[in-house]
Copies of this chain bind each other. A is one copy, B any other.
């Protein structure tokens, strides 16, 4: 059994890790930390976990954590970069669900995250944990930067078009809609049911932290810097991201886009290209480590529309983290990740 530690277990990605790992056949959570909830039993905070875990939250401590085989950081940015390097030195594999190691250009990172990066070597060594792009590097990695939720949905949707250089890389538009759990479990007014249900709004139109991350991934795939307009929206639901991705075909000839998408993801266990003409619903992946995609070319014009849906807490966070762990420990990639999306 892989011995697992979780730093920062009280937020939504933390409890989702616990939900998924509760039924993982080859991993077991040994340590879970939270400064604010020290001594509280997990199941007292999250009654859905009653009967599954006897653990209490403890204060994060490198010595204790270093007895684990792998440590997940489900923390705000700035935490993992302080502890991860030492754990890695002690031979522990680290999977960061936060943002500390996602951006390779640390000046860009500092600009968007508003602090100095204190672990540049770790940042340089970290592997971006999108298995559909970096599976082989993940296999050998000791430090994984799990992609953000929007970046997962957007990159998986754009990759076949970008890799095949089919669309104008300077004019990408990603109109993305997220459930409220993307804002985390913090007690802020904007996430109250009375403020965020029965309403829709865009936010962070002038700039959102996931913008440089998506650009970095797509620029690598395009082998040149891409131009991207990214508009996130807050949607009145708990879970789910719906990315609506626009691109302009370079060449107005016929392309079998459907076939191209199907082939790109033919061997991917967690990316499902829907039949031509489909409209994926976020609920079809609710609770599941799955990305569902369809590709459209309305009116046979030169604009391509890709629809890409994930559960932000699963394929957009905790599920993808477990998928990375499975790859790193040479377990079946789907171990512990066979949940079916909950419909209705």
Contact assessment for B299 and A207 in the assembled complex, using a CB-CB cutoff below 8 Å: yes
Query: Which residues does chain B contribute within 8 Å of A242, judged by CB atoms?
Result: 200-202, 233
Could you mark each residue 194-213 of chain A with 1 if its beta carbon is under 8 Å from any beta carbon of chain B, else 0?
11111111110111000000
Of the residues B23, B280, B281, contact of A338 by C-beta under 8 Å: B23
Query: Is A171's CB within 8 Å of the partner chain B?
Result: yes
Contact assessment for A307 and B191 in the assembled complex, using a CB-CB cutoff below 8 Å: no
Query: Which residues does chain B contribute within 8 Å of A22, judged by CB atoms?
Result: 338, 340
Contact assessment for B173 and A303 in the assembled complex, using a CB-CB cutoff below 8 Å: yes
Could you mark each residue 258-288 of chain A with 1 if its beta carbon is under 8 Å from any beta carbon of chain B, else 0?
0000000000000010100111111111111
Query: Which residues does chain B contribute within 8 Å of A179, judged by CB atoms?
Result: 200
Query: Is A187's CB within 8 Å of the partner chain B?
Result: yes
Query: Is A216's CB within 8 Å of the partner chain B?
Result: no
Contact assessment for A277 and B206 in the assembled complex, using a CB-CB cutoff below 8 Å: yes
Query: Is A111's CB within 8 Å of the partner chain B?
Result: no
CB distance from A188 to the nearest CB of B (A): 6
Query: Is A177's CB within 8 Å of the partner chain B?
Result: yes
Contact assessment for A237 and B199 in the assembled complex, using a CB-CB cutoff below 8 Å: yes
Contact assessment for B272 and A51 in the assembled complex, using a CB-CB cutoff below 8 Å: yes
How far is it, in angstroms, between the C-alpha of A46 and the C-alpha of B292 when the chains are bound?
13
Query: Which residues does chain B contribute within 8 Å of A175, judged by CB atoms?
Result: 175, 244, 246
Contact assessment for A283 and B49 in the assembled complex, using a CB-CB cutoff below 8 Å: no
Query: Which residues does chain B contribute within 8 Å of A52, judged by CB atoms?
Result: 340
Contact assessment for A48 and B198 in the assembled complex, using a CB-CB cutoff below 8 Å: no
| CB-defined A-B contacts under 8 Å, sample of 15 | A15-B344, A19-B340, A47-B281, A48-B285, A48-B342, A50-B284, A175-B175, A177-B235, A180-B194, A191-B193, A193-B196, A200-B235, A201-B282, A202-B242, A202-B279
Residues of A within 8 A of B (CB): 12, 15, 19, 22-23, 46-52, 171, 173, 175, 177, 179-181, 185, 187-189, 191-203, 205-207, 227, 229-231, 233, 235-240, 242, 244, 246, 248, 272, 274, 277-288, 292, 296, 298-299, 301, 303, 305, 307, 309, 313, 338-344
